[in-house]
Structure 1
């Protein structure tokens, strides 16, 4: 079978190495149609930037539910913005921050952005540094660890718990609940080509309850208790009494959705970044000693990993009206898949796009955190927390390697990626740690 005919959403060979598939698709043009799916794929950097910056013509309503579900309406206008809003309640998870459009999105984003200000991160720094110190010392003392489960996932969960002011007594419960959640864009739950409508109509009672729903009960208690009291000097109280830019107060369910979204989205992407970055730290010759000798290079290292192996593979948009993208005419209601992983390796934008190059010019122009109105609000936190954990790993080790029993040699790595078409992350990564003398 020709590579381009393989189904991105169900073919595990594409899951394990999406980059070959993206390059085959790029050869058809920076904007092309996906075989066997009524979807348009964008692999070009310039085209992706143009689309991501254009919230007026593109809706985020399908960004969580994905492009495989049929729309709950038949596009019947030159501009379907009204139809999208009329049927938003019929689009799964379209009330989450990342799926909102226009004013509702701007209002919700303002509440979240207040949590990630420089002053807030500075206030959080002592906790994050102490947490990283304790966790890294523990695994170095035992000679190694399974990085994703023992460090990456719990570390970022505890960090975002502290940012939101979750009581310490509940933080282990949050970690346990997060670990139950399936990866976003789980390939094992994707419908085969041509079966999308049948899959959408399947009985819902056969599905497991999303663990994030359990966290909602915690946040209902936290927020309702704080809102019933005069404002106090703590994060939860500030969040409970927060207001939109127009001065109106969000209802409690909206604050709950925002809080659980932070855990489900921000936690997952940062944990995957830690795993992806560790793989490059170990396998790029000379890199870890270079960073161990000069910690000021760690931010540039992380930016290149974000470009080369960012946590988000694709994002989705819905065309509001007819327009032209690249050389393709797009009709209202067209679903577009923007391949962030491909755009970040576009040879028209990046020299030697598949190579790791520390200090690459213009590296922060990558699209790992998106662009435009939906740029990741948690990007400052992700950069900050992952930098700190790598500083501690390099400070407390003389050498880091991957277990050859588990992962083979550097020339023939055996890596287990999570079965998801939305995210790029390792299911496990076994590292061996030699302590400093």
Structure 2
């Protein structure tokens, strides 16, 4: 067994703060870990080396397994993510379909709507006697935002949240009900297929209309279109929930941070980058060695699985000054690997950054005081060594008094 074992065995303390495990893995260097049947890559420079070499290190088993080729005669076959588990040239072609909708300038244009959604959700917290900032905020906002960007009806947001959680339940852990997952997949894919049937031929800013147009042009099958939409909804929902939850946990548990951000709101973006570095919502993904390769002085044989630890690279003291600490003045704050690197760098990184920043800004604006009701070491974290984030943040909130109507500028 390797130093990775506490995470693979889902030990609560290791899942909450894997920094100690990662330090031991970096000290050990690249090595084979039998508990996951993969070579572990934990040092920053080694992680970057693997992520940049997509030809040698394939993404065909990003989630730890290679799915069998699609069988058109089997309607119950699991949906296969089109982007996550593909390599060039297929990955390049598929990503180009939605690339334009996720450019930083296009995402920036959504900020007024994202801020309105955040303000609605934060204001609703006033009415709650029992507040959990994951359940009542972080878990609600991202699915509304990604549904808006994709062009999915608002009334079905709650269903998408439930479906997304079910589909990702087995990643990086050992549980989940396969029968239930199949039922959820059927419901999810059937609904998306009906939305595609309703397309009126207009290509607008919604991603769904762009995917429908590609299907009409014969570039993707219906099943591939459904897989594409499901992948985007899941990716834009669950990971951003974890990012927002982790940012709120840091905000509420770091002495003086609220006052510092209020005194200089421009630092909120740097805080978001540091939150992503320290608490990356995806801690690592797998790759498949397509040829013998040397990483960190160790030979990785062709056909081997490789587990690439973004979370460890983000805490490597060789790459980050004062690495364990949250620094709002970090000059290379956005250079972390929370969104990966290379061809598979996260398509929705600009959207996730926007949502994280806006939620923190709205909380700072609306709240006079934020008190987490559990110590950091007592917070429950997701039971996964791939996905990372607190699953509950009980809190006591004190809101600023609303501005009297006569004091509001006309």
Question: What's the CA shift string for 1:385-431, capped at 9, x where partnerless?
Answer: 1111111111001111101xxx14x6xx3110111111111111112
Distance 1:379 1:217 in 2: 28
Which of 72, 85, 90 is the matching residue for 1:99? 85
Secondary structure at 1:351's aligned position in 2?
Answer: coil
Q: Given that residues 6 and 35 in structure 1 are in contact (C-alpha distance below 8 angstroms), is that contact kept between their aligned partners in structure 2?
A: no
Please point out which of 300, 315, 318 is paired with 2:285.
315
Partner of 1:60 in structure 2?
A: 59
Q: Please give the per-residue CA displacement for 1:269-311, whole angstroms capped at 9, x wherever unaligned.
A: 1000111111111111111111123221111001001111110
Residue equivalent to 1:401: 371
The question of whether the paired residues in 1 share the 8 Å contact of 2:272 and 2:357 is answered with yes
Are residues 375 and 234 of structure 1, via their aligned partners in 2, closer, same or farther at CA, if it must alter by over 3 Å?
Answer: closer
Give the RMSD, CA atoms, in angstroms.
2.7
Partner of 1:115: 101
Q: Gaps spanning 5+ residues in structure 2: where?
A: 72-76, 402-410
Equivalent residue, structure 2, for 1:28:
28
Any idea what SS the aligned residue of 1:189 has?
coil
TM-score, scaled to structure 2? 0.88
Can you list the C-alpha shifts for 1:370-394, whole angstroms capped at 9, x where unaligned? 0000000000100011111111111
The Cα offsets for residues 198-221 of structure 1, whole Å up to 9 and x where unpaired, read as xxxxxx975642634422212111
1:423 equivalenced with 2:409 (yes/no): no
The match for 2:219 among 226, 249, 253 is: 249
Report if aligned partners of 1:183, 1:419 keep a CA contact under 8 Å in 2: no
Deviations 1:50-109 (A, max 9, x none): 110111111111112x1xx5x79xxxxxxxxxxxxxx64599765531111111111111
- Confirm or deny that 1:369 pairs with 2:339: yes
SS in 2 for 1:329: strand
Q: Which residue of 2 aligns with 1:272?
A: 242
Of 108, 122, 129 in structure 1, the residue corresponding to residue 115 of structure 2 is: 129
Shift of 1:175: 3.1
Matches of 1:290 and 1:360 in 2, distance apart? 15
Candidates 211, 216, 234, aligned match of 1:239 = 211
CA 1:289–1:7: 2 relative to 1, 3 Å:
closer
Q: Contact 1:34 / 1:41 at 8 angstroms: preserved in 2?
A: yes
Contact 1:300/1:359 (8 A) holds in 2 = yes
Q: 1:358 to 1:234 in 2, by over 3 A?
A: closer
Q: TM-score when scaled to structure 1?
A: 0.83
Alpha-carbon spacing, 1:7–1:143, altered in 2? closer, same or farther (3 Å): closer
Q: Confirm or deny: 8 A CA contact 1:3 1:24 kept in the other structure.
A: no
Is the 8 Å Cα contact of residues 212 and 264 (structure 1) preserved in structure 2?
Answer: no
Does the 8 Å contact 1:243/1:250 carry over to 2?
A: yes
Q: Deviations over 1:198-251 (max 9, x none)?
A: xxxxxx97564263442221211111221xx4325462333311489xx86322
Number of residues of Structure 1 aligned to a counterpart in Structure 2:
394
In structure 1, the residue matched to 2:189 is: 216
